[in-house]
Amino acid sequence: MAKTTSKVMRGVAVVAVGAAVSLSVPSAATAQGAHQRCGRVTVDKKAPVIGRASVFVKASQRRIWKLHTSIDKWDTWIPEITPAHKRTPGPLRRGSVFDWSPQNMKVTSTVMRVEPLRCTAWGAPVNGIDGVHLFTFKKVRGGVIVTTEESWAGKTVEADVPSFQTLLQTGLDDWVKRIKDTAEGA
């Protein structure tokens, strides 16, 4: 009887944790009005495709920030987006420009906002897609919550919203997993 009760309680715990995680990061559809912000910059709230991913990282905010803003070193932890190269010298700031290749697209992004250790926002048009991409870094007890949110708009996206939604969400989920694994692994 004790074994059965223990198994049931573990199952209940797994379901409860799964529900808490699912409820803690709202989907794009339920997040209307609750989008991430970097200063006054948000994703395009009217875009047909909006994705969000969040993760708790047990590492210092400075370490995570350095991983995120060292664009020329992204290939060390996300080799699929090679090459990633910041064209603008100096620290990442408003107006900085960088090239990268997410999801096999050649992209030139322009930084719209940077608040050191707190958030970044950049945008880029590519292949008929207008993208706005935000990252926020919230220091909490024991680590940092990293959240990324991105919107895609344009006729290319409107032609196949479900496929683009899946593509974007998969990429964002992978990105936060990799930043967690990299930051916690050092």
Tell me: the pLDDT tens digits for 60-115? 999 999 999 999 999 999 988 878 999 999 999 999 999 998 767 789 999 999 99
Which has the closest alpha carbon to 88: 56, 114, 67, 65? 114
What was the pLDDT predicted at 105? 78
Residue 116: domain span: 27-185
Report how many domains make up the chain: 1
d(CA 79, CA 56) in angstroms, rounded, equals: 22
Residue 8 in domain: no
Residue 5 in domain: no
**Whole-structure pTM value:** 0.80
Residue 82 corresponds to which tokens in the numbers above?
């090679």
| Residue 154 DSSP code | S
Residue 20 corresponds to which tokens in the numbers above?
């808490």
Residue 90 CB coordination number (10 Å):
7
- CA 185 to chain CA centroid, Å, is 19
Residue 9 in domain: no
Residue 11 in domain: no
Residue 21 in domain: no
CATH number at residue 90: 3.30.530.20
Alpha helices in 42-160 (DSSP H): 61-69, 155-158
